[in-house]
Structure 1
Amino acid sequence: MNGDTLQERARARVQELPGANLDHPFGPDWDVYKVRAKVFMLMTEVTGEPIVILKAGPEDSKALQEQHDDITPGYHMNKKHWITLHPSGDLQTQLVDDLVTDSYLLVVENLPHAKRPVDPATFGRNNR
């Protein structure tokens, strides 16, 4: 998946996530996606390639990095809880969709119940 396609795919998936919105708190070079003011995805090309940065559980993060050359620790983020998707390799559309959704749900799970746009225990689970 090339860089434009990677970022387009991630952007398209965000459009399907209730309560998700785009912000630019770090300037025009960074697209920052939030749910209820909490960041779950960032996109930029400041590294020289179009990358997508996502939240991931520590165990998932480690496993994904071992399984995919184009998934590395989160660029400028906590390396244990964030991953970076690079456009150079074999990332499949479904994996990108799943990783964006998982990142979103990790943030939603930590929101107060009244602020959750979806139930993280059931959202998106019926189509996996």
Structure 2
Amino acid sequence: MPATAFPEHAWLVDLVDDLPGARAADQPAWDAVVLWIGDKMFGTIGTDGRGRDLLTLKLPPEDGEALRQAHAFVEPGYHLNKRHWNSVVLADPGAHRDLLAELVEDSYHCLLATLPRWRRREIGLLA
């Protein structure tokens, strides 16, 4: 089922859906769109307690720290492990579209690298 929440960020959902083995799906209980590879989450699109739209992604700790130091709109992950998860405030996503696309792909590859070969085969990523 395609993600329908956060239509203003549909381009992010489309980007995820174009990644092999990945999908974006509504998670109504969280009021979020969750980004998946198989049954493993690599990101979310949601709203924080202040009403800001966030793209939250799993990244290597050193990459996340560098991003937070370089960009004021990148914060420790909202409601997730602050060491491995980072939230990007989507106040003006058009201004950072290339960076956001790169971060989604980095998060995808970060999780993909942790999956065992049999799991990658099971979800159609290996022949």
TM-score, length basis structure 1: 0.78
- Alpha-carbon RMSD: 2.3
1:34 aligns with 2:50: no
More displaced, 41-50 or 74-83?
A: 41-50
Letter aligned with residue 103 of structure 1:
S
**Poorly superposed stretches of 4+, deviation over 6 Å:** none
Report sequence identity in percent: 30
Letter aligned with residue 41 of structure 1:
G
Structure 2 stretches of 5 or more lacking a match? 1-5
In 2: Cα distance, 1:18 partner to 1:8 partner: 18
Do the aligned partners of 2:53 and 2:91 also contact (CA within 8 Å) in 1?
Answer: no
Letter aligned with residue 63 of structure 2:
D
For each residue in 1:19-64, what CA deviation from the matched residue of structure 2 results, as whole angstroms up to 9, or x when unmatched? 1123445616121111010000111124302111001111100000
From 92, 98, 101, give the equivalent of 1:97: 101
**Residue number in structure 2 paired with 1:86:** 89
Letter aligned with residue 97 of structure 1:
A
Q: Which has the higher strand share?
A: 2
**Residue number in structure 1 paired with 2:3:** none
Q: Is the partner of 2:41 in helix, strand or coil?
A: strand
